[in-house]
Amino acid sequence: MAERTPLIAGNWKMNTVLSEAVSLAKAVSEASSTAPDVDVAVCVPFPFLIPVKDALAGSKVGLGAQDCYYETAGAYTAAVSTTMLDSIGCDYVICGHSERRATFGDTDEDVNKKTLKILSEGLKPILCIGELKEERESGETFTVCDNQLTKGLAGVDAEAMKNVVIAYEPVWAIGTGLTATPEVAQETHAYIRSWFVENYSQEVADGVIIQYGGSVKADNVDELMGCPDIDGALVGGASLEAEGFGRIINFVK
């Protein structure tokens, strides 16, 4: 089995002002220096990408955007292209987050176009998948994951999968304080890994980073990261608090 390096990524969402963003980035940079076997990234609001990039200089923390558009350029008011993101030094781009799907209407087809565009630019997509509360309760979790993976990764070959991160985020656990138990999270992560065996290969399945997201905090990260198929976390609210996020980065297995 491939040895996977965990990825802890903070998704700041629509939070912080400039001074807060720079200060938080510096704190994350410092916290990451004591976690040598963990990859770290922060996915920050568009206006703060460049100053945060500057604040992270000299650290190992990767820079991520929270979304993009799938066209290269043109009359798309307020849209941000992968070319723009690449030009300022982004490493990661989140795509398919449930808030983009629910609030802004991103379809699986939109998510797929974004995924392909991010990859074509040489950036790494963090592809988010996950079920609603009612889908979990009706036993549809695996079906939802299968559908979102099948559509979201259409046209992505095994070689490209080396640059794709999957983030499993049960929608009912995002920002609610509810967290899937480690057993529930591991069960779904194991299914996702088996999906890659079936649809790609054992080699791809062994190598793909599958993050867990959904109210990850300093007091539950150790237990979650002890699960064999959980390879990191996509952290929302807790990534805005420097000390707590530093503890998440420095999780203990």
Hey, which residues are catalytic here? Answer: 97, 169
Smallest CA-to-CA distance from 103 within 167, 176, 13, 15 is with 13
Measured in whole angstroms, the distance separating CA 40 from the mean position of its chain's CA atoms is 11
Cβ atoms 216, 241 nearer than 8 A: no
Q: How far apart are CA 150 and CA 122, in angstroms?
A: 22
Question: Six-digit token pair at 44?
Answer: 């920050």
Q: How far apart are CA 58 and CA 29, in angstroms?
A: 9
Q: How far apart are CA 184 and CA 220, in angstroms?
A: 14
Q: How far apart are CA 137 and CA 239, in angstroms?
A: 29
Per DSSP, the chain holds a count of helices (H) and strands (E) of 11, 8
If one counts every other C-beta atom within 10 angstroms of the C-beta of residue 96, the result is: 27
